[in-house]
């Protein structure tokens, strides 16, 4: 598989916000990152496509999907190293695959298809369409929200992904999400913590400095 589409190995819990546009994924990503005092990986496609629209007045084309997937994985791998035991992902490559299938007549780049099937996440949070539609430059198909939701849920089932459905207000979604995530964290051991990495670096530099001072004293 393309290395640019592959997850770097790291022992953390990875949670994906998954579902159609305007269903509260980004809001919940922020809330979960704050709750767990960790980082979250935003949706690379938003910035990529907004820049394309601003500069060219063009929307997403199928040639954009592989660069978007590569950018998303680069972002995820970078932020995973800065996570404290858990990384919240605003999207993943399976979501990109669903959009590709739905918008381009079933077309999916083989590299994207393979990565979407191979990359592993501990939990998917499927967001329901019981949130108000918020229009912007990139969102479309507000009349097909249920159809798109069904496509996303079918993808999770077809790929045998571990997921829960989130409905209701922000507080309800956050509570149900954290209950599910806490159960996963409790089963894991020796999860990577960025704060531990910083402490190790601090100890390393302190040790180096103390050795340096000792050598100077001997001279």
180 in the same domain as 199: no
- Number of domains the chain contains: 2
Residues 58, 127: Cα–Cα separation, whole Å: 28
211 in the same domain as 158: no
Segment 86-99 mean pLDDT: 95
129 in the same domain as 38: yes
219 in the same domain as 180: no
Supply the pLDDT for residue 174.
Answer: 97
* Confidence band, pLDDT 50/70/90 cuts, at residue 189: confident
Phi-psi category of residue 24: left, alpha or beta, with phi > 0 → left and psi -120 to 50 → alpha: left
* Entry pTM: 0.83
160 in the same domain as 72: yes
- 2 vs 29, higher pLDDT: 29
User: Whole-number mean pLDDT of the chain?
Assistant: 84
Residues 20, 31: Cα–Cα separation, whole Å: 19
Structural domain including 209 reads 192-219
Residues 124, 19: Cα–Cα separation, whole Å: 10
Least confident of 28-42, 127-141, 166-180: 127-141
Q: What are φ and ψ of residue 162, in 5° steps?
A: -80, 115
The helix (run of H) or strand (run of E) holding residue 86 is: strand 86-89
Question: Does the pLDDT value for residue 60 go beyond 80?
Answer: no
């Amino acid at each position: 598989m393309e290395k640019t589409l592959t997850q770097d190995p790291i022992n953390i819990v990875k949670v994906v916000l998954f579902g159609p546009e305007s269903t509260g994924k980004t809001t919940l990503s922020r809330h979960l990152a704050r709750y767990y005092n960790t980082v979250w990986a935003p949706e690379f496609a938003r910035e990529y496509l907004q820049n394309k629209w601003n500069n060219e007045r063009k929307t997403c084309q199928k040639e954009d999907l592989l660069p978007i997937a590569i950018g998303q994985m680069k972002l995820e791998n970078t932020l995973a190293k800065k996570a404290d035991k858990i990384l919240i992902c605003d999207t993943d490559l399976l979501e990109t695959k669903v959009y590709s299938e739905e918008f381009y007549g079933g077309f999916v780049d083989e590299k994207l298809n393979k990565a979407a099937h191979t990359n592993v996440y501990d939990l998917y949070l499927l967001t329901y369409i019981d949130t108000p539609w918020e229009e912007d430059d990139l969102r479309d198909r507000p009349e097909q929200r249920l159809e798109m939701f069904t496509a996303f849920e079918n993808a999770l089932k077809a790929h045998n992904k571990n997921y829960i459905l989130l409905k209701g207000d922000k507080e309800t979604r956050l509570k149900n999400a954290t209950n599910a995530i806490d159960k996963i964290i409790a089963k894991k051991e020796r999860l990577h913590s960025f704060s531990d990495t910083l402490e190790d670096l601090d100890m390393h530099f302190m040790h180096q400095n103390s050795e340096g001072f000792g050598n100077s004293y001997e001279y």
